[in-house]
Amino acid sequence: MNGLQSKLHEQLVAFNQEHVLAFWDELADNEKENLTIQIQSIDFNLFALHQSKQIDSKSKQIEPCEVLALDATYKKQGVASIENGEIGILTVAGGQGTRLGWSGPKGTFPATPVTGKSLFQLIAEQILCASKKYKTTIPWYIMTSIENDSATRSFLIDNNCFGLKRTDIFIFTQGEIPAVDTDGNMLLETKSNIAMNPDGHGGVISALRQSGGLDEMSTRGVKYLSYVQVDNPLANAIDPNFIGLHLSEKSSTEASSKCVLKIDPDERVGVFCKVNGNLEVVEYSDLPEDKANECDGEGKLVYAGGSIAMHIFTVEFLQRIADDLPWHKANKKVPCINLQTGEQCKLESPNAYKFEKFVFDVLPLASNSIVVETKRNEEFAPIKNTTGQDSPETSHNMQRERATSWLRSRGVDISGGAIIEISPLAGACAEDLNEAELPKAIGSDEIVVI
Ligand code: UTP
C-alpha cells in the first residue's frame, strides 16, 4: 500500500468500510483521485450515528391540528415586509426527477400550456413582477445537487437569468450521503465511485448554512424565506397575505405552512397533524387507516390538510436548527457492483438503504408552527409524473383553468375550449390583472397569452 492508500484504509477501517478500496490497484490516477475526494467528503461520524440510530421509531400520538383560514387580514404587514427587502425565495431544485424522466434538471422542464416556459422561468418571473410592484429586491436562493448544479447554472446564465440580476441569485449545492446495504456497508456504483444520493430536500437547511447562504441573508437583511419546490407552476411564491400572517402577533410563528384539503382519504400526500403535541407532516403511508378515513359530523375528513410544500421560515430560526433534522431511511434498489467480480449486480428487490432529510421536519422544531388552507385550483398543480396524476397534462389543465377563472373574474367573456396562459409577469393573483390590458372576449378556438 502506498501512503495515500494506507491513509484512506486507516480512515475506512475505523468504520468497517475498507471494502470500497477493493479495486484501488486497478484504478487510473484520475479514478483514484475521484474516489479519494469522495471518501474525504463523507462525514463518517454522522454516518455511523445514523446507521446505529433506530430512525422513525418514536411512538407517535397523532391528533388533528388546527388549520387556519388565509385571508387579507395581515396583507399590509406582508406588503411592508416585502417592501423592506426582508423576503427571500428559497427553491429546492436538487431532486433527481426520476418519475418525470426529464434528462436535464427538473427546473428546466417546459411547464406551461402555450409558451412552454420552464419551471425556473415561472419562479424568476414571479420574482421580477413582485420586485417591480413592491419596488424592492427579492433575492432567490436555489438549491441544486452535485449532479445538476452545473447544468442549472448554465441554463440560468444562457437565459440571462430571465431578467433577474445574477447577483441576486444565490445558487448552492446540497450534500450527498452514501447508501448502505442491509449490513451497513457502503456500496460501489463503479470501481472508483461510491454509491451516494442527495441528502433530500431537508438537506437545504444545513446546505444553506454551509454555503454561507444564511450569512448572506443576514447581511442583506433578509429575515423570512418563502419556500417553494421547483415543480409546482401554480405556487404563489410571494404571497403578502401568507407572509403577513406569519409576521402577525396573532401567530408569532417561526414556520408557517400552506395546505390544501385532501380530495379523498387515499390521496398520496403528507398530512398535517399534531404529533406528540407538535405540528408535523405525517407521510400518507404512516397515517393509520382509521385516522385517514375519519370524518366529522358533517362528513368531512378530520385529517384533511394535505401538505403542498409551501412554507414561510424565519431565517433566525433556520440558523438555530440548521443541523438538527433527523434522517429517514428508505429501502431502495441501488445500482452497485459485486466486490469480488466487479460486475454489475442484478437487482430484483431493494438491496440497500438510502438516507434523506425532509424539510417538513423543521416544523415541530419551530415555536408555534401554523398551517393555513389555500385552494388547490389556485396554488397546486405539481409536475411529478410523465403521465396520469400530477403530470404535465394535469398541470396544463389546471393552469388553463386558473387563467380562465382569473380572466372571467375580470369580466372577460370566455368560450369553452379556449387555451389561455397568464404570464407571472402580468400578476400573482386575479386582482393584479386590473392593471393589465385584457381582451373583452375570447372565442373557443383561440389561444391567448396574457
Ligand atoms: P420530489 O420528492 O418530488 O423528488 O422533490 P424529485 O426529485 O423532484 O422527483 P422524483 O421523486 O425523483 O421523481 C420535491 C422537491 O424537492 C426537491 C426537488 O427538486 C423538488 O423541487 N428535492 C428533492 C431536492 O432539492 N433535493 C432532494 O434530494 C430531493
Q: What angle do CA 359, 363, 364 make, to 5 degrees?
A: 130
Q: Where are the alpha helices (DSSP H) in 109-197?
A: 119-133, 149-158
Query: Exposed, middle or buried: residue 184 (CB in 10 Å: 0-12, 13-18, 19+)?
Result: middle
Question: Which grid coordinates belong to 440?
Answer: 373583452
Distance 388 CA to ligand 1 centre (A): 18
Mean pLDDT across the stretch 92-120? 96
Please tell me what DSSP assigns to residue 248.
S
Distance 65 CA to ligand 1 centre (A): 26
Q: What domains sit in the chain, N to C, each tagged with a CATH number?
A: 60-390 (3.90.550.10), 391-450 (no CATH)
Distance 385 CA to ligand 1 centre (A): 12
Helix (H, G, I), strand (E, B), or coil: what is residue 219?
helix
pLDDT value of position 82: 98
Looking from the CA of residue 91, the nearest atom of ligand 1 is 21
Pocket test for ligand 1, best of 118, 201, 283 (most atoms within 8 A of CB): 201
277: left (phi over 0), alpha (psi -120 to 50) or beta: left
What pLDDT digit, counting tens, does each position of 360-381 carry? 999 999 999 999 999 999 999 9
Round to whole Å and give the CA distance between 200 and 208.
13
pLDDT value of position 168: 98
Mean pLDDT across the stretch 12-34? 94
Closest residue CA from atom 18 of ligand 1: 95
Round to whole Å and give the CA distance between 297 and 354.
42
Does the pLDDT at position 208 exceed 80?
A: yes
Question: Which grid coordinates belong to 355?
Answer: 438516507
pTM here is 0.94
SS (H, E, C) 298-329: CCCECCCEEEEEEEEEEHHHHHHHCCCCCCEE
What pLDDT digit, counting tens, does each position of 256-310 carry? 999 999 988 999 899 999 999 999 999 998 899 999 999 999 999 999 999 999 9
Share of the chain above pLDDT 70, in %: 97
Question: Which grid coordinates belong to 270?
Answer: 403528507
pLDDT value of position 46: 72
Altogether, the residues listed in the chain come to a count of: 450
Looking from the CA of residue 94, the nearest atom of ligand 1 is 25
Does the pLDDT at position 428 exceed 60?
A: yes
Mean pLDDT across the stretch 170-195? 95
Helix (H, G, I), strand (E, B), or coil: what is residue 125?
helix
Distance 175 CA to ligand 1 centre (A): 14
Mean pLDDT across the stretch 335-349? 95
What pLDDT digit, counting tens, does each position of 214-254 carry? 999 999 999 999 999 999 999 999 999 999 999 998 878 99
Average pLDDT, the chain: 94
Task: Give, in order, the Cα–Cα distances in Å from 196 to each of 85, 141, 271.
Answer: 38, 24, 29
Distance 203 CA to ligand 1 centre (A): 11
User: Would you say 175 and 199 are in contact if contact means Cβ atoms under 8 Å apart?
Assistant: yes
Listed range (58-67, 336-345, 363-372) with the worst mean pLDDT: 58-67
Distance 147 CA to ligand 1 centre (A): 13
Looking from the CA of residue 100, the nearest atom of ligand 1 is 13
Looking from the CA of residue 204, the nearest atom of ligand 1 is 25
> Hey, what's the torsion of the CAs at 367, 368, 373, 379, to 10 degrees?
-20
Phi, psi of 264 (to 5 degrees): -150, 165
Looking from the CA of residue 92, the nearest atom of ligand 1 is 25
User: Would you say 75 and 83 are in contact if contact means Cβ atoms under 8 Å apart?
Assistant: no
Distance 93 CA to ligand 1 centre (A): 7
Ligand 1: residues within 6 Å at CB?
92-100, 106, 143, 174, 198, 200-201, 229-231, 384
Task: Give, in order, the Cα–Cα distances in Å from 334 to each of 16, 96, 358.
Answer: 20, 14, 20
Distance 97 CA to ligand 1 centre (A): 6
